[in-house]
Amino acid sequence: MKRIALAAAAAVAVTALALTGCSSSGGRGGDAGASESAAAGFAADATIGVALPDKTSENWVLAGNLFENGLKDAGFKGDVQYAPASNTVAEQQNQISAMITNGAKVIVIGAKDGKQLGTQLQQAADAGVKIIAYDRLIENTPNVDYYVAFDNFKVGELQGQALLDGLEARSGHAAPWNIELFSGSPDDANSAVFFNGAMKVLQPKIDDGTLVVKSGQTDIQQTATQGWKAENAQSRMDSLLTANYTSATIDGVLSPNDTLARAIITSVKQAGKDISTFTVTGQDSEVESVKSIMAGEQYSTINKDTSLLVEQTIKMIGQLQKGEEVDVNDTEQYDNGVKVVPAYLLPPVIVTKENAAEAYANNPTLLDIVKAAQ
């Protein structure tokens, strides 16, 4: 009897401890050592880790610089690291482990492979380190506290709609239109979200015959672009053109980002096709793609203002530091396989030649490009 009662009491104590340790309100931080203020989550000059993937698009380069400066301005010690282009997954795992060992209180992660961080995030949880998934969701682990990103499903929907609009405006003929589909890297959780968002718009049009995918390659495995690499998109586009479009016209391509869009344009040009009647979508508002849009080649991109995303992330870190409730605006959409991760989502903006000046009004670099071309 006594043993059972003791065991039960111990179990209650353990449960209470466990509950305290994994308080998910974001309000605690669990750092008993922070003595400045009883309410604070951790010291105001704590180290914050930022683990970014390899630089597969301009926005990752920009994010690193913005985090360096923004964390310093907010009083934190920033430890910003990129995974190198080769052996990225293992390197990122090592970087995150080192950040935990070195005492980071929060680690912001742009995952290289969002399914392979379970061990490191368990280590983080055990050490009371909060994890914010940045731009890409981290999957299959309970130990991701928040997600901050642009609304990626919406990005896909906007891309799908832009493809339809571009076909209508540029192809010079009525439906049916011949299109091909590209998606991002399979190790990036965003790739499926972008693709599913786009297919919500495009699938009904494929089903009713408005759109024809001559290759028949419509599922995500067939359309994937390993590593988000331009050369992989270009060689797949070359093969698609050779196999299906030596005599037929290709009217458009769904491309998930700008880097791949430009590779697809290169391939279409090299095949001797007319680019002025061809529509390709993109994402990221990369400098070269904004130039291409203004020159009438790439049809659309998406503006996901990296400075706003980094600013929101640093705001969340500040809330964790002060022991305040962390701002989230979505608690339903981002199920990582183990839990629905509380998210703060920002709205993406579709950009074509028509609205470029308005869309980049607050971005002097891009606005200059737009103005120079007008």
The angle formed by the CA atoms of residues 241, 263 and 310, to the nearest 5 degrees, is 140
Q: How far is the CB of 262 from ligand BGC (least distance, A)?
A: 12
Binding characters for ligand BGC, 188-227, by CB under 6 A (x = yes): x-x-------------------------------------
Q: How far is the CB of 86 from ligand BGC (least distance, A)?
A: 16
* 71/311 Cα distance (integer angstroms): 9
- Candidates 284, 301, 360, 370; binder of ligand BGC (CB under 6 A) is 284
Q: How far is the CB of 151 from ligand BGC (least distance, A)?
A: 11
Binding characters for ligand BGC, 24-63, by CB under 6 A (x = yes): --------------------------------xx-x----
Quick one: angle between helices 258-270 and 287-294, nearest 10?
50
Looking at the Cβ atoms of 79 and 188, the one nearer to ligand BGC is 188
Looking at the Cβ atoms of 228 and 245, the one nearer to ligand BGC is 228
Q: Should residue 298 be labelled a site residue for ligand BGC when binding is judged by CB under 6 A?
A: no
Q: Should residue 228 be labelled a site residue for ligand BGC when binding is judged by CB under 6 A?
A: yes
For residues 354 and 293, the answer to whether their CB atoms sit within 8 Å is no
Beta strand pairing call for 301-303 and 177-181: unpaired
User: How far is residue 96 from each of residues 51, 198, 250, measured CA to CA in Å?
Assistant: 7, 33, 45
- Candidates 88, 283, 313, 321; binder of ligand BGC (CB under 6 A) is 283
* 299/365 Cα distance (integer angstroms): 20
CA-closest candidate to residue 250, choices 299, 298, 179, 181? 179
Q: Should residue 136 be labelled a site residue for ligand BGC when binding is judged by CB under 6 A?
A: yes
Binding characters for ligand BGC, 85-124, by CB under 6 A (x = yes): ----------------------------------------
Looking at the Cβ atoms of 57 and 277, the one nearer to ligand BGC is 57
DSSP one-letter code for 363: -
Q: How far is the CB of 256 from ligand BGC (least distance, A)?
A: 7
What spatial distance separates the first Cα and last Cα of the chain, rounded to whole Å?
A: 85
How many residues of this chain interact with ligand BGC, rule: CB under 6 A?
12
Burial class (CB in 10 A: 0-12, 13-18, 19+), 247: exposed
* Beta-carbon contacts of residue 210 (< 8 Å; ≥ 6 apart): 175, 176, 177
| DSSP string covering 139-202 | -S-S---EEEEE-HHHHHHHHHHHHHHHHHHHSSSPSPEEEEE----TTSHHHHHHHHHHHHHH
Q: How far is the CB of 142 from ligand BGC (least distance, A)?
A: 22
Helix (H) or strand (E) holding 279: strand 279-280
Q: How far is the CB of 284 from ligand BGC (least distance, A)?
A: 5
Q: How far is the CB of 252 from ligand BGC (least distance, A)?
A: 19
- Which residues in this chain contact ligand BGC in the complex, by CB under 6 A? 56-57, 59, 135-136, 184, 188, 190, 228, 257, 283-284
